[in-house]
Structure 1
Amino acid sequence: MTTERELRRRIGTARRVVVKIGSSAITSFHGGIRRAELDTLADVCQTRMTGGSDVFVVSSGAIGAGMAPLGMTTRPATLSAKQAAASVGQLELARAWGDSFARYDRVVGQVLLTAADIGRRDSAANAQRTLDRLRTLRAVPVINENDTVATNEIRFGDNDRLAALVAHLISADALILLSDVDALYDSDPRKGDATAVTMVGGEGDLDGVVAGAGGALGTGGMASKLAAARLAADAGIPVLLTSAER
């Protein structure tokens, strides 16, 4: 059985890495992009790339990024309002990532996908080729769900599942899920008596694990992260779940 130490070594030395960043990590509660936090994450990605890794960023946050420019102070409730915010936020988010990586003379390539795109062989193959070409051109792929056309019935779930599918698509060596929680817990961590589950080696390790809803600006709670981890694990890809602050 693979040990925790071996898994951490695999993730630490992975050459092709998908990093999924949750909405709460880079957007504020009332909307808008947290530039300092985004810059810090870009710094970490650049360190990995300087060390020889290929990094593919799956970034949530389009709806949150579009709220402030549209004068919204709370997350929109209707699908049309969410899609309107996302259409504005995608531009804001791409610009912010571009500014962050420009400090290292890197350009960003925005890739917007839907579940239907990944589900069709020809579309998935085209996406794979685009991502690979961006990599060879030293551009940083920043991938997000195409919120403006996705419906509630076919959404990925705050990009957790999208990140796992992208990891499988590009044959990634590791998947890192960053959000506002630093681990899996056997009970609600807000109650103070929760114990972190440091490694999941099988379904039995998930007994009692908290699987709640996402944060105020996100849609993917622990349940979607567990589902994404299972998808990646089925493809032999190790997964690290931690907070963006760490």
Structure 2
Amino acid sequence: MSRHRDSIKTARSVVVKIGTTALTTPSGMFDASRLEGLADAIEARMKSGSDVVIVSSGAIAAGIEPLGLTRRPTDLATKQAAASVGQVALVNSWSAAFGRYQRTVGQVLLTAHDISMRVQHTNAQRTLDRLRALHAVAIVNENDTVATNEIRFGDNDRLSALVAHLV
């Protein structure tokens, strides 16, 4: 086990998957202040020389309050609408958290299907590589407005593994 921990400590490229639970209150409402502590830890890792890509869930949760909803939607169309509105709030929150370190963030919305297609795979890989070269923090999320299966089953777990292969 310590061998794996040592390799994580010294890894040059790291993909950090942030689940919805890490970004929400116990009642499931998005809490932007939770990103600050995560950004602090990620910034420390980047200062130590690692390239970090964040796969961040939370768009649906972030869209609940702005849409006047009281809880997470259950139907697909409302989930997609909440994700559409919430993605803006999510990326703005990451931008504010990393802005404290004068870092820019870049939004990368993908689906598992995108990564499975050769041209899209290559484009996604190039985009992530260029964001890292420009010292911007890539904030990757599943494109929930079009990714029906991922909303129901994935919650970015599979996407995180696929992104790890891109970097």
TM-score (norm 2): 0.95
**Residues 41 and 87 of structure 1, relative CA distance in 2, 3 Å threshold:** same
Matched, 1:15 2:12: yes
**Residues 153 and 95 of structure 1, relative CA distance in 2, 3 Å threshold:** closer
Task: Judge which range, 91-100 or 148-157, deviates more.
Answer: 148-157
| Alignment-derived partner of residue 78 in structure 1 | 75
User: CA offset at residue 110 of structure 1?
Assistant: 0.2
**Residues 21 and 153 of structure 1, relative CA distance in 2, 3 Å threshold:** closer
Give 2:24's match in structure 1, choosing from 23, 27, 34: 27
| Alignment-derived partner of residue 59 in structure 1 | 56
Is 2:144–2:151's contact at 8 Å kept on the other side of the alignment?
Answer: no
| Alignment-derived partner of residue 43 in structure 2 | 46
Is 1:54–1:135's contact at 8 Å kept on the other side of the alignment?
Answer: yes
> The residue matched to 1:70 in structure 2 has which SS?
coil
How many matched pairs? 167
TM-score (norm 1): 0.65
The CA distance in 2 between the partners of 1:59 and 1:153, in whole Å, is: 14
Calculate the aligned-residue CA RMSD, in Å. Answer: 1.5
Q: Which structure's residues are more often helix, by fraction?
A: 2
The CA distance in 2 between the partners of 1:92 and 1:31, in whole Å, is: 15
Task: Judge which range, 84-93 or 31-40, deviates more.
Answer: 31-40
Report Cα offsets for 1:46-80 as digits up to 9, x if no partner.
Answer: 00000000000000000000001111111101100
| CA radius of gyration, larger in | 1
Give 1:159's match in structure 2, choosing from 156, 160, 166: 156
Matched, 1:137 2:134: yes
Gaps of 5+ in 1: 171-246
The CA distance in 2 between the partners of 1:30 and 1:81, in whole Å, is: 19
How do residues 129-208 of structure 1 correspond to structure 2 at under 5 angstroms? 129-152=126-149, 157-170=154-167
User: CA offset at residue 13 of structure 1?
Assistant: 1.1
Is 2:144–2:150's contact at 8 Å kept on the other side of the alignment?
Answer: no
Q: Match for 1:103: what amino acid? A: R
The CA distance in 2 between the partners of 1:29 and 1:68, in whole Å, is: 15
> The residue matched to 2:66 in structure 1 has which SS?
helix
